[in-house]
Structure 1
Amino acid sequence: MTRKDRTEGIYSRKEVLDESERRQYYLIQLKDLLTYAYRYSEDVKKRFDRAQFQPEKFKSLSDLKHIPILKKKELIFLQSMGPRLGGLLTKDLGELRRIFLSPGPIFDPEDRSDDYWGWTEGFYAAGYRTGDVAQITLNYHLIPAGLMFEEPLKNLGCAVIPAGPGNTASQLDIMQKLRVTGYVGSPSYLMHLAQKAEEMGLNLRKDLFMEVAFVTGEKFSEKMRNQIEKKFDLIMRQGYGTADVGCIGYECYHKTGLHIANRCFVEICHPDTGIPLKDGEVGEIVVTAFNKTYPLIRLATGDLSYIDHSPCPCGRSTPRLGNIVGRVDTTARIMGMFVYPHQVEQVMSRFEEIKRWQIEVTNPEGIDEMTLYVEATNFRREDELLHTFRERIKLRPTLDVLAPGTLPPQIRPIEDKRQWD
C-alpha cells in the first residue's frame, strides 16, 4: 500500500459538514440526548432539576452552559449511590455488552451498539486501511483500552493481534513473523520496542513491516514522533479520549491538532466557574458524548486545551483541539493510566511505617518513568508495598526509601517533571 493511499480520503460525510450543517447537527443530537437522558437517567433528572434546567427549553448551543459541569472525580461517588451505577445509566447492567473498571475506581460501561467508543473515524484518519494487521499493545484486563480499539479496526477490515502490554521480545517476534503493518498503543512503548529491536540487531525498516501507528494514552514530543517515524518509516498519529466517553479527538495526516469526533460536542470552559471560553482561549475540556446509554453530560475531563476553527488541508471541517497543555488538578496520566493522589494515599495508609510520600514522574528519552519516594525508618516491606501499589494503581514504580525529614516540608503528591521539547 502506498503512502498516498493512507493519507487521503474521508471516512464519514459528517467530517466535512459546513458550519451551518454542523451547528444544526449538534443541536439535533444534543436536544435528543437531553430529552432522553432526563426521562431515563435518575442522576441526570436530579442534576437538571437542581439547576432548574428543562430540556424542552434547549434552543441553542449556548443554552448548554445552564447545565452544571460534571467532574470526572464525582463519578467515583455517584456510581456508588444505587442501581444502574447510581442512576447514571439509562438501562440495566444486564443489557450492556461489557463493564470495565478503570483507576479511581470508576466503572466504564460498554453498550451493544456498533462502534460504541467511536474510534473508527480516528483510525481511518491515522492511515489504517483494509487488510492491515494491527498489533494492540494496550491492557486487556478490566480496563477498556485494548478491547476499545478492536471494533473500529474490524469496521475498517483489519486483523487484530490482541498482544496486550509487556513481553517485548515476544511482541517483536510477532511483528516479524506476522508482518504486522500497524501498531496500537502508547508512544513510549513503541519507542521502547524500537530501542529493544535495535539492541537485538534488527533493522526496523527491513526486518519489520510497520506502516502506521495509532498512539494514545500519554503526551509526547514532536521530536519523539519524528524519531519513531524515521526509525520505522511509518505514519504515527494520535487519538485523544477517555475510558468514560471514548473518542473525543484524533489527528489527521497534516498534524494540525485533534479533529473533534462527530460523536460528541466539546466546550472549553474556565476550570473554576465552568463558563465556556472563546475560541483560542485555554481552558478545561468539557465533553458531551451523544451516548444515550451512559449520558455523561458536560463531563469535565481535567485536561487543558483550546479550540481551533481554522481550515485544515485534509478537508475535514470539524473544529480541532490544540495540544493538551496540562491538567487542572493534581491527577497525572502516567504510562497511559490516570494516577489519583487519593488512591496512592489509600495504599500508603496500609503501611504505618511510612510517614510521608511523593511520586515523581520523568520521561528520559520520551519514556515515562515513575519513582515513589517514601520516608520511613527500617522499612522492610518493599516487595509488599510494590505489589499493593501495582494491584491498586495498575503501575509499578521505582521505590526509593528515604530517611524521615528528607523530603521538603511542602510537596506536591505527584511531581510531574516530564519535558516535551
Structure 2
Amino acid sequence: MSEYFDHKEIRSQSERENDHLNKLQDLINSAKELSPFYSKSLSLVEADGIQNLSDLPKLPIVRKSELIELQNSEPPFGGLGMVPAGKMARLFLSPGPIVEPQGEDEDIWRVARALYAVGLREGGIAHNCFAYHFTPAGIMFDYAARTLGCAVFPGGVGQTEDQVNAINRFQSDAYMGTPDFLKIILEKAEVLNTPITSITRALVTGGPLFPDLRNYYEGRGIHVRQCYATADVGLIAYESEAMEGMIIDEDVIVEIVRPGTGDLVPDGEVGEVIVTCFNPNYPLIRFATGDLSAILEGQSPCGRTNRRIKGWMGRADQTTKVRGMFIHPEQVARVVELHEEIIKARLEVSDSDGKDTMALHCEVKSGLANEDLENQIADTIRIECRLRGNVIFEAVGTLPNDGKVINDSRDSVLG
C-alpha cells in the first residue's frame, strides 16, 4: 500500500504550479460567466493575463467580513455561487451568520488526504465527534473517512458516556474531532471502568493541540495529527509523520500576505493566510481566512514535496477601538503604502493615565529616519486614521515577526 494518498503529493513543484495555473485560468473563465459576483469583480481580468502564479495579486481579495455582507444583501450565496441553491447537495449556516454550501455529494473538502497521512486505511472504523448539524464539519470528516473506505460512527458532540460505549462496542481505531474532547472521552471511560484501548490514531482541528495534550495522547499509544481546515474552503494544510510544520493541500493555492493588504510577505514572515480553492459550484478566489501563519522553508522529510506552513498562529483581524474610533489593519497599510521609506510598521495601542495612546513603530530605510519624515508620517496617520498618533523609528529587523499590524496592550480592547 502506498505511503502517499496519491502521486500529487510527490510531484515536482513546477508540475504542481502548472496544474494550479491551468485550473485557475479555467476557474476564472467559468466564474466570470456563471457567478454574478465574479463577473463584476473579475471584469477587468483576463484568464490569459494570469501567466503564472506570481500574477495572483492581480486578482482581488475576498474577505470573510465582505462575504457575510454580500450574503446578507444577496442571499443565499452573495452572488458567488455558480449553480442555484437547489442544485447544491447540502446547505450549511455557520455563526456569523455565513453560508457554506456543499456543491457536490462527495469529499469536496479533500480532508481524506489528511486522514491518510494519519494512517487511516480502508476497513478502519472512524469515530467522528464533529457536529453534523448547521455547520459542515461532521459531513466534511465523514466523507473523508468514507472516501478511504472506512466505516464512520457519527458521534457528534457531547454525551460522553454514550461516546465511550460506542467506541468500545465498535472498537473504533480512529478519532476525528476537536483536540480536547478525546481526552474528556478517555477520562470518562476510566471513571466508568471501561477503558478505551482500540483508538490508535486521531485527526484533530478546531482548537489548539498543546504539547502537553499531544504528549498525553502519545503516552496512551494514540498518534495525533492536526489539520488546518475551514468550512469555507476545506482542507488547507495537514501534519504528516515528520511533524515539521503543516503540508499545504494539493488542491488549493495558499498565499501569505501582510494583514490589511494583498501584498505577499517573504517566506518565514508571519502574515494572513489567503486561499484559492477550485470548488466548481462555489469557488473562492483569493479568500482571506483571517488567520495568521508563515511559509516554512524547505521540504518535509516525509517525502511530500508541497510547501509547508508553520500552522495556525493567531488571527489577522486586529481591528481595535481608540478614543471611540475603530482602527483597521487596512488603514495602517495605507499609511505604509504612502511612505516608501517605511520597510515595516506596527501600530502600538496602549493607555496612559486612563487615556488611549497610539504610536506607529517604523523600520525605515537606512539613513532616512529624521524629524521631517516623522512629521510626514504623523500627518498621514491623522488623515488615514482620523486620530493623532506618535511615530517611533526602530532599527531594521527589530519589530516582532508575529504578523501583527496593530498590537493593543490595553486590558479592554473593543469595549
Q: Does 1:229 pair with 2:223?
A: no
Count of residues paired in the alignment: 326
User: C-alpha distance in 1, partners of 2:76/2:84?
Assistant: 6
Instruction: Return the match for 1:196 from 164, 188, 201.
Output: 188
1:168 to 139, 154, 160: 160
Letter in 1 for 2:204: V
2:282 aligned counterpart, secondary structure: coil
Give the gaps of 5 or more residues in structure 2.
320-409
Aligned AA (2:227): G
Cα distance per residue 1:99-149 (max 9 Å; x no partner):
001010001100125311111111101111111111111111111111111
Instruction: Summarize the Cα distance change of 1:413–1:189 in structure 2 as closer, same or farther, 3 Å threshold.
Output: farther
CA RMSD of aligned residues (A): 2.0
Does the 8 A contact of 1:269 with 1:283 survive in 2?
yes
In structure 2, distance between residues paired with 1:289 and 1:113: 17
Change (3 A) 1:200 1:413: farther
Is the CA contact 2:186–2:195 (under 8 Å) kept in the aligned structure 1?
A: no
Q: 1:314 aligns with which of 296, 302, 306?
A: 302
Tell me if 1:215 matches 2:209: no
Distance, in Å, in 1 between the alignment partners of 2:264 and 2:214 is 32
Q: Percent identity?
A: 39
What's the offset of the Cα at 1:413?
Answer: 5.1
Q: Is the 8 A contact 1:133 1:158 kept in 2?
A: yes
Shift of 1:196: 2.2
Q: Which range moves more in the overlay, 98-107 or 64-73?
A: 64-73
Distance 2:127 2:286 in 1: 34
CA deviation profile, 1:270-301 (whole Å, cap 9, x unmatched): 10222011211110000000112111110111
Decide which of 124, 128, 132 is 1:132's aligned counterpart: 124
Once the two structures are TM-superposed, the CA of residue 80 in structure 1 deviates from its matched residue by: 2.5
Letter in 1 for 2:199: M
Aligned to 2:381: none
C-alpha contact 1:269 1:277 (8 A) present in aligned 2: yes
**Matching residue's letter, 1:129:** R
Aligned to 1:383: none
In the alignment, is the contact (CA less than 8 A) between 2:176 and 2:202 conserved in 1? yes
SS at match of 1:184: strand
Deviations for 1:183-241, whole angstroms, at most 9, x for unmatched residues? Answer: 0100111121222223334444xxx211111111111212211111212x121111111
Equivalent position of 1:11 in the other structure: 5
- Residue of structure 1 equivalent to 2:336: none
Tell me which of 254, 259, 274 is aligned to 2:247: 259
Please, which of 69, 94, 100 is the counterpart of residue 86 of structure 2? 94
Of 34, 55, 66 in structure 1, the residue corresponding to residue 28 of structure 2 is 34
Q: In the alignment, is the contact (CA less than 8 A) between 1:38 and 1:55 conserved in 2?
A: no
2:114 maps to 1:122? yes
Q: Which runs of 4+ in 1 moved over 2 A?
A: 52-56, 80-84, 194-204
Q: Which residue of 2 aligns with 1:406?
A: none
- Tell me the distance in 2 between the aligned counterparts of 1:13 and 1:298: 26
Preserved CA contact (<8 Å) 1:84 1:90 = no
Look up the equivalent residue of 2:272 and give its one-letter code.
E
Cα deviations by residue, 1:52-103 (Å, 9 ceiling, x for unpaired): 3322311111111011211111111111233662211011111110000101
Counterpart amino acid of residue 34 in structure 1: I
Deviation of the 1:173 alpha carbon: 1.1
Q: Deviations over 1:228-282 (max 9, x none)?
A: 1212x12111111111111111111111111111111000001022201121111
1 CA distance for matches of 2:411 and 2:120? Answer: 48
Q: Does 1:291 align with 2:292?
A: no
Relative to structure 1, the CA distance from residue 181 to residue 413 in structure 2 (aligned partners, 3 Å threshold; closer, same or farther) is farther
Report the Cα distance in structure 1 between the residues aligned to 2:288 and 2:174, rounded to whole angstroms: 32
Contact 2:275 2:288 in 1 (8 A): yes
Q: Matched residue of 1:85: which SS?
A: coil
**Paired position in structure 1 for 2:346:** none
What is the rounded CA distance, in whole Å, between the counterparts of 2:297 and 2:31 in structure 1?
29
Instruction: Tell me how far 1:330 sits from its aligned partner.
Output: 5.8
1:32 is aligned with what amino acid? D
TM-score normalised by length of structure 1: 0.74
Paired residues of 2:130 and 2:137 also in contact (CA < 8 A): yes
Q: Does 1:270 align with 2:264?
A: no
Whether 1:45 aligns to 2:39 is: yes
Query: How far is 1:412 from its partner?
Result: 2.8
**Structure with larger RCO (C-alpha < 8 A, sep 6+):** 1
Give, in whole Å, the separation in 2 of the partners of 1:278 and 1:28.
25
Q: Which residue of 2 aligns with 1:411?
A: 412
| 1:139-154 to 2 correspondences below 5 Å | 139-154=131-146
Give the residue type in structure 2 aligned to 1:298: R
Where does the alignment leave 5 or more consecutive residues of structure 1 unmatched?
Answer: 332-408, 415-421
TM-score (norm 2): 0.75
Work out which of the two has the higher radius of gyration on C-alpha atoms and give 1 or 2. 2
Distance in 2 (alpha carbons) for counterparts of 1:45 and 1:85: 14
How far apart in 2 are the matches of 1:23 and 1:85? Answer: 29
- After superposition, residues 393-408 of structure 1 pair within 5 angstroms as none
Q: 1:328-377 CA distances to partner (integer Å, 9 max, x unpaired)?
A: 1269xxxxxxxxxxxxxxxxxxxxxxxxxxxxxxxxxxxxxxxxxxxxxx
Out of 61, 65, 72, the residue aligned to residue 73 of structure 1 is 65
Comparing 118-127 with 108-117, greater Cα deviation is found at 108-117
Q: Distance in 2 between matches of 1:310 and 1:288?
A: 22
Contact persistence 2:131–2:156 (CA under 8 A): yes
Query: Which of 246, 265, 268 pairs up with 1:280?
Result: 268
Distance 1:45 1:64 in 2: 17
- The equivalences for 1:357-396 within 5 A come to none
